[in-house]
A and B are shown apart, each in its own frame.
Chain A
Amino acid sequence: MIKRRLWQRFIAHLDPILLTLLGLLLLISLVVIYSASDGNWFRVLAQATNILVACVALWIVANMPLHYLMRAAVPVYLLGLVLLIAVAFFGEITNGARRWLNIGVTTIQPSELMRIAVPLMMAWYFEKHEAILTLKNYFIATLLLLLPVALIARQPDLGTAILIAASGFYVLFLAGISWRVILTFLIISMASMPLAWSTLHDYQRHRIMMLLDPAQDALGRGYHTIQAIIAVGSGGVVGKGYLSGTQSHLDFLPERTTDFIFAVYSEEFGLLGNLVLLSLYLFVIMRGFVITAHASTYFTRLMAGSITLTFFTYAFVNMGMVSGILPVVGVPLPLISYGGTSMVILLLGFGILMSIHTHKKLVQT
Chain B
Amino acid sequence: MKPHIEFKDTQREIHYFRVRLALSLGFVLLLLLILLARFVYLQVIQQSHYQTLAENNRISIVPIAPSRGLILDRNGVILAHNYSAYTLEITLNKVVDLKATIDELAKLVDIQPGDRKRFKRLLADNRKFESLPIRNRLTDDEVARFSAQRYRFPGVEIKARLFREYPYHEQISHLVGYIGRINEGEAAQLEEDEMAANYRGSDYIGKTGIERSYEGELHGKTGFQQVEVDAGGREVRVLSRTPPVSGNNLVLTIDAKLQEIAEQAFGNYRGALVAIDPSNGEVLAFVSKPGYDPNLFIDGIDEQSWNELNNSPDVPLNNRALRGQYSPGSTIKPFMALAGLHYNKRAPGYTISDPGYFGLPGSRHRYRDWKKDGHGSVDLFKSIVVSCDTYYYGLATELGIDNIYSFFSEFGFGKKTGIDMEGEVSGLMPSQEWKQKRYKQKWYAGDTVSVGIGQGYNLVTPLQLAYATATLANNGVAYRPHLLKEVQNSRTSEKRTLATKLESNLNLNSEHLTLVKSAMVAVTQPGGTAAKAGADAPYTFAGKTGTAQVIGIKQGEKYIESKIQERHRDHAWFMAFAPSDQPKIALAVLVENGGHGSSTAAPIARKVLDYFLLGKVPQPLLIEDEAEGAEHD
Contact = CB atoms under 8 A, between A and B. Distances in A.
Nearest to A325: B38
Contacts of B36: 274-275, 278
B7 A132 contact: yes
B231 A174 contact: no
Contacts of A235: 43, 47
Contacts of A286: 25
A233 B49 contact: yes
Contact of B17 (A136, A174, A236): A174
Contact of A293 (B6, B21, B34): B21
B46 A233 contact: yes
A2 interface: no
Contact of B40 (A271, A298, A319): A271
Contacts of B623: none
Interface string B25-39: 100110110111011
B5 interface: yes
A274 B8 contact: no
A231 B38 CA distance: 14
A148 to B, nearest CB: 23
Does more than half of chain A's interface fall in helix, strand or loop, or is it mixed? helix
B24 A289 contact: yes
Interface string A272-316: 001100100110011001001100001001000100010010001
Given A236-B43, A252-B231, A312-B28, A135 B3 contact: yes
A234 B53 CA distance: 8
Interface in A318-339: 319-320, 323-325
Given A230-B53, A316-B31, A325-B38, A176 B16 contact: yes
B50 interface: yes
B574 to A, nearest CB: 67
Interface string A208-221: 00000000000000
B20 A237 contact: no
Given A132-B6, A233-B49, A292-B21, A278 B35 contact: yes
Contacts of B53: 230, 233-234
A229 B50 contact: yes
B44 A236 contact: yes
A250 B229 contact: yes
Q: DSSP majority for the B interface?
A: helix
Contacts of B39: 232, 266, 271, 274, 323
B491 interface: no
B228 interface: yes
A34 B292 CA distance: 64
Contact of A323 (B7, B42, B54): B42
Given A132-B7, A246-B54, A289-B25, A232 B43 contact: yes
Nearest to A250: B230
A247 B228 CA distance: 12
A278 B32 contact: yes
Nearest to A285: B28
A233 B231 contact: no
A266 B35 CA distance: 13
Contact of A247 (B32, B54, B229, B232): B54
Interface residues of B, number: 43
B122 interface: no
Nearest to B234: A251
B231 A250 contact: yes
A229 B43 CA distance: 10
B39 to A, nearest CB: 5
Contacts, number: 130
B391 to A, nearest CB: 81
A246 B43 contact: no
A251 B44 contact: no
A323 B228 CA distance: 25
A1 interface: no
Contacts of A301: 17
B18 interface: yes
B58 interface: yes
Contact of B21 (A237, A247, A305): A305
Given A231-B54, A278-B36, A319-B35, A135 B44 contact: no
B236 A316 contact: no
A323 B55 CA distance: 19
A322 to B, nearest CB: 10
A250 B43 contact: no
Interface string A118-137: 00000000000011111110
A178 interface: yes
A323 B32 CA distance: 13
Interface string B218-249: 00000000001111100010000000000000
A286 B25 CA distance: 8
Contacts of A266: 39, 43
Nearest to B25: A289
A252 to B, nearest CB: 4
A221 to B, nearest CB: 16
Contact of A229 (B5, B18, B42): B42
A323 B24 contact: no
Q: Indicate the member of A131, A134, A227, A236 with the most B CB atoms within 10 Å.
A: A236
A187 B171 CA distance: 86
Contacts of B46: 233
B24 A237 contact: no
A229 to B, nearest CB: 7
B147 interface: no
16 contacts: A131-B8, A132-B5, A135-B3, A227-B57, A234-B50, A237-B43, A250-B228, A250-B236, A252-B230, A270-B43, A274-B36, A278-B35, A309-B24, A312-B31, A316-B31, A325-B34
3 residue pairs, one from A and one from B, having the closest CB atoms? A233-B50, A234-B54, A251-B231
Interface of B: 3-8, 13, 16-18, 20-21, 24-25, 28-29, 31-32, 34-36, 38-40, 42-44, 46-47, 49-51, 53-55, 57-58, 228-232, 236
Given A231-B54, A251-B231, 16 more contacts: A134-B4, A135-B3, A135-B4, A170-B24, A174-B17, A176-B6, A250-B230, A250-B231, A250-B236, A271-B40, A278-B35, A292-B21, A293-B18, A301-B17, A305-B21, A316-B32
Interface of A: 130-136, 170, 173-174, 176, 178, 227, 229-237, 246-247, 250-252, 266, 270-271, 274-275, 278, 281-282, 285-286, 289, 292-293, 298, 301, 305, 309, 312, 316, 319-320, 323-325
